[in-house]
């Protein structure tokens, strides 16, 4: 084997140095700059992608804040509208209730007046019926005649006591 022959070592070492220098020259002049350029492009693309992702994240956070603010405002407006509607309905209900209560009070007063009038009329008739009945009873018991005025006077005295 020629590799193990010590007499061929110096030319092999010279060729090794020549090939190493040539390979180093080719790699350093052509291949490594291209590889470095590709690596630099990848690094730049990754950095731009990260910057874009950070920008998009900030925009989405701003959009989320704007959405939450709009949602809170909408809820507040809805609550205010609901409260306003509730207040209007309560006022309308109270107004209608007051009208109904006024009508009922008026009807109640009319009914009480009619009842009092009917009661007074009935009491007047009761007095007449009671005086006639008392006169008839006294006439039956005594057998004599009593005037209607004396029976009415006695009945009024009895009712006052």
This prediction's pTM: 0.45
Cβ atoms of 106 and 95 within 8 Å: the answer is no
pLDDT at 161 over 90: no
Q: How far apart are CA 120 and CA 130, in angstroms?
A: 15
Contact in structure between 131 and 157 (CB atoms under 8 Å): no
Strands (E), 15-143: none
The pLDDT tens digits for 48-77 are 999 999 999 999 999 999 999 999 999 999
Rounded-to-integer distance, Cα 72 and Cα 55, Å: 25
Asked whether the predicted pLDDT for residue 43 surpasses 90, the reply is yes
**Among 91, 114, 144, residue whose Cα is nearest residue 106:** 114
- Please report, for the chain, the start and end positions of each structural domain, with discontinuous segments joined by +: 2-160
What mean pLDDT comes out for the span 78-87?
Answer: 97
Higher pLDDT, 144 or 57: 57
């Amino acid at each position: 084997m020629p590799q193990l022959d010590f007499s061929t070592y110096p030319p092999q070492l010279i060729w090794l140095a020549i090939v190493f220098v040539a390979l180093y020259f080719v790699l350093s002049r052509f291949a490594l700059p291209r590889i470095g350029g590709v690596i630099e492009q990848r690094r730049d693309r990754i950095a731009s992608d990260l910057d874009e992702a950070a920008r998009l994240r900030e925009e989405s956070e701003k959009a989320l804040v704007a959405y939450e603010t709009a949602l809170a405002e909408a809820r507040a407006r809805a609550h205010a509208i609901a409260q306003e509607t509730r207040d209007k309905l309560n006022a309308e209900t109270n107004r209608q209730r007051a009208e109904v209560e006024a009508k009922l009070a008026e009807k109640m007063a009319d009914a009480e007046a009619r009842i009092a009038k009917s009661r007074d009329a009935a009491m007047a008739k009761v007095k007449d019926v009671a005086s006639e009945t008392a006169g008839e009873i006294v006439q039956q018991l005594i057998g004599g005649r009593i005037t209607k005025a004396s029976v009415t006077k006695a009945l009024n005295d009895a009712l006052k006591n």
